[in-house]
Chain A
Amino acid sequence: MSGADPDLVRALGAIVGPRWVKIRDAERRTYEADGLPTHASVPMVAVLPGSKAEVIAIVRLLHERRVAWVARGAGTGLSGGALADAETVLIPLTRMNKILGIDPTARRAVIEPGVVNARLSEAAAPFGLGYAPDPSSQAACTIGGNVAENAGGPHCLKYGATTAHVVALEVVLPDGSLATLGCPQGEPWGPDLVGLFVGSEGMFGIALEITVRLEPVPAAVRTLLADFGSVRAATESVGAIIASGIVPAALELLDQACVRAVEASIYAAGYPTDAAAVLLVELDGTRAAVEAETMMVERFLTEAGARTIRSAETAEARARLWQGRKKAFGAMGRIAPDLVVQDAVVPRSALPDVLDTITEVGRRYDLTIANVFHAGDGNLHPNICYDHRDLALRERVHRASKEIMEACVAAGGSITGEHGVGADKMEYMPLIFDPTSLATMCAVRRAFDPAERANPRKVVPTRYCREWRPEPIR
């Protein structure tokens, strides 16, 4: 049983009903991870609100009692960001899963934070609309989690990540006060606090109601699968496509280790297993534009040395080409007990060299590193298979991950493109930000949460948060 104060448990139960307060060990353990095998932590108690009013009441109660808390969506974050420890209350928002309204004329939807990403596009489909950000985890992850992480996805190359699609937010701040940020059209209405809140990793408050843009479903879509004899050739074709001015809806790359894992799994998509890399290119838009761009892209692929190019236009054929990509993590997860899905970004032009470095790091630490990634925006996902029970192996994985991050930063990149910093990447933050900038991030966080009770000790290492505090306003 949890060490939670029985009085607190009673008070939480009075808000949500006792059955939505989880104190038994087995129940709490279901929340101990967020898909990243290197981090686990069991919360003091989990409380599942069913309405906006209940969330507000919980936050106010915890504010009065000075108890720290962590909001949680589906727990697919992969950065340890949604974990809470034995002193901290976890607030899963999965019961708040209502789509409150879809306005097809304005192309907007208003939703609760626990709505699963894929469900919104399904609900908008009858109107010929869809929600563009499509993380590969979209069948499970929540839009509240997407807002907190500024989630991306394959189609963000053309349509932009979550931040480009959220126009307004109703939030409860950690002191229990409410604020409505933004407006349906998208003009910020004051400083751009929507832009600031998106990507704040649960440390600024809880998004209670989210207003998003919906995009029309394109008239035509074409998916191409090209396979290459070298990873370098594949990444060079990416550069050529982008430099031509064509913005594909998606440009995804899987290397040989990844292709083989996919083809050996139940998700086999017919990718050639002798290829060093396969590239998925999706073009969408008007029929004429898609046809013209397809011809150009096929030429770039051939010039870069593609061995074969397959093309799919029907929904079923495209789904099959995509299946391997979408299920790649799942497929890799089956070949070893544990899988670290890494996330980093490099300038597109640095892709060939950085991928060479990753291969070299893998060789040096004797690790299998498989790459599946958003090539169009240089967002890498090196995946390392291992077994967490092997301590020495764990240490090698950690060192290799760190070297990969350093290589990406040295190439002018970033330590995360979509999974966030959470707990996992905190140690890398000083690689890309100086102490003053880190201290300013902490100070901005305190503007939302002076007591630092929302998702404590994430994103910025605490030692950087003590260096500078604003003087009082004159």
Chain B
Amino acid sequence: MSRLILDLLGAEFGVAVTRDPDGLPRVAPRTSDETAAALGLAHRHGWRVRVEGRGTWMPADAPADLVVTTTGLDRIGSIAPADLVATVQAGTPLRTLAAALAGHRTWLALDPPGSPDRSLGSVLATATAGPARHRFGPVRDHVLGTTVATADGRLVRAGGTVVKNVAGFDLTKLQIGGFGGFGIITEANVRLRAMPAARRTAVATGALDPLFHAAQAIVAAEVDAIVIELLSPMVTGSADWRLLVEIAGTEAGATSELARARDAAGDVALMPASGGALGVAAGQAFLEGPVSIRAGALPASLPDIADLVVEELGPGRMSLGPGRGGLRWSGTTSVERIRRLRGLLAHREIPVTLERAPWPIREGAGHFGELREGVAPLSARVRAVFDPTGVLVAPLEGRDG
């Protein structure tokens, strides 16, 4: 079988076909059209396809007949600094993109956990936002439009390149956090921000409770921060929790807002820290645990939920967002434990999304787990529009537990 696949792909793509470390045929299309063609071929022959980005986030371990990697989709199509929009192929590493944008005094305000070499597509497909979601919102808020190759080889464009647009149904939303179940994102139009003149970071150290209260006070004081995030001891390899506050703006503005954050924090001492380094290190720390989940918890419940998560899943690296809510945990755990946590949190209207895990856990628990009544059949019907014959290996709901 794999010989046939190689031959057929070779005929269509020439040099771009190789084998992955497990001997699976692997193709690295360079354009949206080539991506659609590869999937079209898989669809016609009934091959199962594993989609890979740069391989720094999700393990490349899903069983499949063919691997489609986005590493060949690594071009930045355009950067329009005046309109604050860039068109970027999905395999582009975030680091490369950031460097190109910096040359235009702009940035993409996404700071997801993981390696700085993560592909843009992997961030979009898994909707993994980092601490900057406090100010700039979830991943979906950064994406104005996408080009997607469906599993049966069509190219679908949704949205556009302008910041405000309600033409047609918002199919882009399906792709963000769709975990590859709705096709392969080949290109995205992302929304940029003007680079701030000044950035200031401050950190407080201590037990979770006082830091959480200080964070809440900073939120309540409406301090104009881009990041307010709590990091568990394991994230920084220390004995204490950290409260990370980051401010951006004009020199004068950043200084005065930082002073307000300090006032609001009261007895909890916010100390100046070197710009961004802690955030980056924390993001990478989440790679140390093989499993990473996020829970959609409201701010006030975060300390409680953090306790519960540790009780159910085991010790792990955690970050909590006291402004917008949401918790991330990363560590070693099992399908059964994830299922039990989901069961407990569902009663509190808190979904648990599996962001990253080895295949057996992804397959067992699913990225979303069992969907709620009414949503499951709807989601299956929508998915069938993008993958009518189940070509894409994307375990969204997992096995029945």
Residues of A at under 8 Å CB distance from B?
A: 105-106, 108, 149-150, 152, 156, 160-161, 163-164, 173, 177-181, 183-196, 198-200, 216, 218-219, 239, 242-245, 285-286, 288-289, 292-293, 296, 345-349, 374, 377-379, 412-421, 425, 429, 432-434, 436-438, 440-441, 443-445, 447-448, 459-460, 468, 470-474
Contacts and interface: CB of A to CB of B under 8 A. Distances in A.
Nearest to A376: B163
Contact of B82 (A195, A348, A413): A348
B382 interface: yes
Contact of A186 (B155, B257, B325, B353): B325
A212 B140 CA distance: 17
A415 B300 contact: no
B166 A187 contact: no
Contacts of B162: 345-347, 377-378, 412-414, 417
B260 interface: yes
B137 A216 contact: no
A8 to B, nearest CB: 27
B195 interface: yes
A289 B173 CA distance: 33
A471 B169 contact: no
Interface residues of B, number: 85
Given A288-B256, A471-B388, A436 B156 contact: yes
A200 B378 CA distance: 15
A183 B346 CA distance: 10
A440 B296 contact: no
A199 B158 CA distance: 13
A163 B222 contact: no
Of listed A108, A190, A194, A445, residue having the most chain B CB within 10 A: A190
Given A216-B222, A459-B168, A470-B385, A188 B325 contact: no
The winner among A149, A239, A412 for most chain B CB atoms within 10 A is A412
A188 B177 contact: yes
A440 B194 contact: no
A415 B260 CA distance: 44
Contact of B260 (A196, A286, A414, A441): A286
B375 A190 contact: yes
A421 B168 contact: yes
B288 interface: no
Contact of B385 (A194, A285, A444): A444
Contacts of A188: 127, 177, 351
Contacts of A438: 168
Contacts of A196: 169-171, 173-174, 382
A346 B162 CA distance: 7
Contact of A106 (B295, B300, B351, B368): B300
A355 to B, nearest CB: 16
Nearest to A450: B381
13 contacts: A152-B166, A187-B296, A188-B127, A189-B368, A191-B174, A191-B182, A192-B127, A195-B176, A239-B82, A245-B197, A347-B80, A440-B156, A447-B382
A196 B297 CA distance: 22
B371 A242 contact: no
B165 interface: yes
B154 A412 contact: no
B285 interface: no
A419 B374 CA distance: 30
Top 6 nearest A-B pairs by Cβ distance? A187-B296, A195-B173, A179-B374, A245-B194, A189-B351, A447-B381
Interface string B189-220: 00001111100000000000000000000000
Contacts of A420: 166
Interface in B126-185: 127, 137-138, 140-141, 150, 152, 154-158, 160-171, 173-174, 176-178, 181-182
Contacts of A164: 137, 141
Nearest to A177: B374
A432 B166 contact: no
A396 to B, nearest CB: 25
Interface in B287-305: 294-300
A169 B197 CA distance: 39
B394 to A, nearest CB: 11
A414 B380 CA distance: 30
Contacts of B250: 292, 296
Given A160-B141, A286-B257, A441 B169 contact: yes
Contacts of A293: 253
Given A191-B379, A243-B82, A180 B374 contact: yes
Given A180-B374, A377-B164, A441-B171, A436 B390 contact: no
Contacts of A173: 374, 378
Contact of B140 (A195, A218, A415): A195
Contacts of B167: 414-416, 421, 425, 429, 432-433
Contacts of B194: 242-245
Interface in B256-286: 256-257, 260
A366 B162 CA distance: 30
A192 B157 contact: no
Nearest to A292: B253
Given A189-B351, A242-B84, A286-B260, 5 more contacts: A189-B296, A190-B368, A199-B169, A245-B194, A444-B174
A219 B222 contact: yes
B372 interface: yes
Nearest to A103: B298
A421 B166 CA distance: 8
B319 to A, nearest CB: 15
Nearest to B165: A414
Contact of A191 (B80, B178, B374): B178
B390 A191 contact: no
Nearest to B248: A245
Given A179-B374, A190-B379, A245-B196, A444 B171 contact: yes
Given A161-B164, A347-B83, A437 B156 contact: yes
Contacts of B176: 192, 195
B358 to A, nearest CB: 22
B82 A349 contact: yes
B361 interface: no
B252 interface: yes
Given A245-B197, A416-B167, A473 B379 contact: no
B169 A192 contact: no
Given A190-B396, A436-B155, A443-B385, A179 B375 contact: yes
A418 B164 contact: yes
A459 B168 CA distance: 7
A184 B349 contact: yes
A200 B252 contact: no
A457 to B, nearest CB: 15
Interface string B334-350: 00000000000000011
